[in-house]
A and B are shown apart, each in its own frame.
Chain A
Amino acid sequence: MKNKKASIGKIVSFPFVLIIVVVIMTAFMFAAITYSSFKEPSYQKEALSSMPEKSILLKKVYLPLENKETLVLDVIILRIEDEITLDVLSKSLSDLAKKENYCYFLNYQKDGIVQSNTLRNEQSIPKRRENSLFIQDKLTKNEFLLDDKKITIESYFGACP
């Protein structure tokens, strides 16, 4: 008799459970659809910063003393290897920014934080990228290996804030 009661209970509850499951699943489906439609689309990186030919590192500059055309990347490496001073690098970049009427932000590191420098040509760009919402998402990060040491360069070259 007891077993009968239990099985009746089971039978009675089964369609009810099914209905509840369907209700939960429907609610979940609506929740998922609502989440997808209200979720803000992820920010698309500005094409300018990801196109190599637009990268500041591949722009040509003149080394002030030698008056030789060089790529910005090479000038940074010369600075990292202490072959030129920070002023020379800074001047080369400022001349380029002035010529193209752009702002730049550059942060380079050799082997983590052993050697790190931030350069910018506008006071409106903060010294630390964390403080600048304007360039935070527009930074391009490049990594290079130089004599087994990792060089990380974060750069921005574009419109001024």
Chain B
Amino acid sequence: MNKKADASFLLCILVAIAFCIATFMAFITSNAQLKEASQDLEQLSIGIQFFQTYAVEESKIIFKESLINCPSCSLESLKRKITEVSTEKDQHLENSGNLFGKFRNSEFEIEKKENLFTLKIPSVFVKSESKNSEITKNFDVCLYFDSQGEFISEC
């Protein structure tokens, strides 16, 4: 009958070992899952920053090229030129949001004070996708340029 006691004794040890292994597995697996989730978020965050910078850089290029091609234009003509240049530059990237749509529909403003140009594009959005997640970011583009179309600073 000592066998019965031995069996329970062994069972307890086995259960303890099983618990240890289970905890250890949970420790390793949760670490890996956490890493994957954080990589996913990092990808989304990098993506959104990337497309925001893309929108700003494209705006700078479009404005400069328009001004170079139309140096003595009135603001209205310059606006038309910007629309024309942006249509040429539009690569139809789906992640780039509504920037080119804004240019196409003339939903932007240009101001000129002395030799300083201001380009304002309100409510631009860009989006970033990663596996099952998607982020959309809204922002306003506001840039200062000199008379040569060189970017000076953001507003």
Q: Chain A, 64-97, contact with B by CB distance < 8 Å: what is the 0/1 string?
A: 0000111101100110000000000000000000
- Residue from B6, B20, B64 within 8 A of A9 (CB atoms): B6
Cβ B93 vs Cβ A77 within 8 A: yes
State how many angstroms separate the Cβ of B88 from the closest Cβ of chain A. Answer: 9
Q: Are A77 and B53 touching (Cβ within 8 A)?
A: no
The reply to whether B50 and A52 form a contact with Cβ atoms under 8 Å apart is yes
Interface of B is mostly: helix
A5/B94 contact (C-beta < 8 A), A50-B46, A52-B46 known: no
List the A side residues contacting B35 at CB < 8 Å.
Answer: 42
Is A160 interfacial (CB 8 A cutoff)?
Answer: no
Cα separation A9 to B9 with both chains bound (whole Å): 9
25 A/B residue pairs, CB under 8 Å, sorted by A: A2-B1, A3-B1, A6-B4, A9-B6, A10-B4, A10-B8, A12-B5, A17-B9, A24-B16, A24-B17, A24-B20, A25-B20, A28-B20, A50-B46, A52-B49, A52-B52, A52-B54, A55-B53, A58-B54, A69-B61, A70-B61, A71-B61, A144-B93, A145-B93, A147-B92
10 interchain residue pairs of minimum CB distance = A9-B5, A145-B94, A52-B53, A52-B50, A13-B9, A17-B12, A21-B16, A6-B4, A5-B1, A6-B1
Binding site for B on A (CB under 8 A): 2-3, 5-6, 8-10, 12-13, 16-17, 20-21, 24-25, 28, 31-32, 42, 50-53, 55, 57-58, 60, 68-71, 73-74, 77-78, 140, 142, 144-147
